[in-house]
Amino acid sequence: MSCDFDTVLNRQGTSCLKYDFEKQRTGRTDLLPMWVADMDFRAPDCVLDALKRRTEHGIFGYTDPDDSYFDAMENWFLTRYGLSIQREWNTVTPGVVYAIACAVRAFTKPGEKVLIQEPVYYPFRETIELNGRVCVSSSLIRSDSEGLHYEMRFDDLAQKLADPDVHLMLLCSPHNPVGRVWSADELRKVSSLCRENGVVLLSDEIHCDFILPGHHFTSVLALGGAETSNAVVCTSASKSFNLSGLQVANILVPDSKLRKAFRHENAASGYSQGNAAGLTATEAAWRGGAPWLDSLLQYLNGNLEFVRSYLCENLPGIRLVEPEGTYLLLLDFSGICKTYEELHDLVQNKAKLWFDEGRIFGPETALFERINIACPRCVLKKALGQLKDE
């Protein structure tokens, strides 16, 4: 299996959001893109081969996941995480954000509240507010005790979940953008607080395959028993194997009543069968992609070590939020920039870089930037070099 992560592949001219829409999104044409969460790596050979076979068949009619698909899914989660899931829990959707929107409509009414933990993946807030619900944040607390990282504020979380108008909580696990991999104890506390207050807990676990050495991923579903009675877990192979454009997610809901409500909203949105190519690619990735993914994780860990060392040696005023998972890094520029305008001028006008602005994740990270390190190391070196030169 080919595991070449060093070769720079030209993605321009493929209608690629990351590279081909710079002018529309920034008004510029001279920026090095390090932003949106997809990788600059080809999918594993097992996926490409499966897609070729499917293409050669030549018919792309309505397609549902079959027993072979479910067997691959069950084996993936059992082998990687010791997690036993039941296929009847699963509903296929075109993506996790779509599923979150369905959940917001399924488990809350207009004007009711949904709780998030900012700084967090910005579609959480967008999806809540665009559906006419009220967004409430129990902001994560910044800690410098063992390097810059974030923790949950359980007292604040308990207080806000006790609000009778809060009916749904969106949990990002592993967390984007702060990179926390929540422990089983932390997840158990969150789950218990939600259950005690009759709140549905939706856990976005799309980054679960990106866990750094020394850390262990626990799914909300692994808590078992009553702890999963209020759980909705969003999964997808799209991040792990760079399949986002094929649009397949798997939404796991153990409770039959919650599952029925979610599926009703999914059907009301007009969605039924999944993307034929996406289902093919996902099954192939689960069946044969583990060696490729393991090699990728080693490479990404090397990229992280490179960034950590480079900042320390060349850009000590920029602090790294120490990640435990994901391939997205949050950088704190508050030591060298005092305003958003100053930060924007440094990153885009001077360094000519396209990062994700920290302010989109919440007010707490207005002087931060999120960068994507899922790229060849030479590209990462170039980007940090451009920042150093300014």
pLDDT of 390 reads 83
Q: Comparing C-alpha atoms, which of 304, 355, 329, 379 is closest to residue 6? A: 379
Q: What 3-state class would DSSP assign to 228?
A: helix
Q: DSSP labels for 287-328? A: HH-HHHHHHHHHHHHHHHHHHHHHHHHH-TTSEE---SBSSE
Structure tokens at 275: 């993307």
Residues 85-97 have pLDDT tens digits of 999 999 999 999 9
The pLDDT > 90 percentage for the chain reads 96
pLDDT (0 to 100) of residue 130: 98
The mean per-residue pLDDT over the stretch 301-322 comes to 97
Q: Give tens-digit pLDDT for 34-51.
A: 999 999 999 999 999 999
> How high does pLDDT run on average in the chain?
96
Q: Are the C-beta atoms of 170 and 116 separated by less than 8 Å?
A: yes
Q: Could you give the residue ranges of the DSSP H alpha helices within 176-326?
A: 184-196, 238-241, 256-268, 276-288, 290-314
Asked whether the beta carbons of 78 and 33 are under 8 A apart, the reply is no
Q: What is the pLDDT of residue 147?
A: 75
Residue 72 scores a pLDDT above 70:
yes
pLDDT band per the 50, 70, 90 thresholds, residue 1: low
The residue-averaged pLDDT of 219-247 equals 96
Which of helix, strand or coil describes residue 356? strand
Burial 259-277 (b: 16+ CB within 10 A, else e): bebbeebbeeeebeebbbb
pLDDT of residue 146: 65
Within 10 angstroms of residue 130's Cβ, the number of other Cβ atoms is 11
Task: Indicate the pTM of the whole model.
Answer: 0.97
CA distance 57 to 258: 38
Q: What is the pLDDT of residue 3?
A: 86
What confidence tens digit (pLDDT) does each residue in 163-206 have? 999 999 999 999 999 999 999 999 999 999 999 999 999 999 99
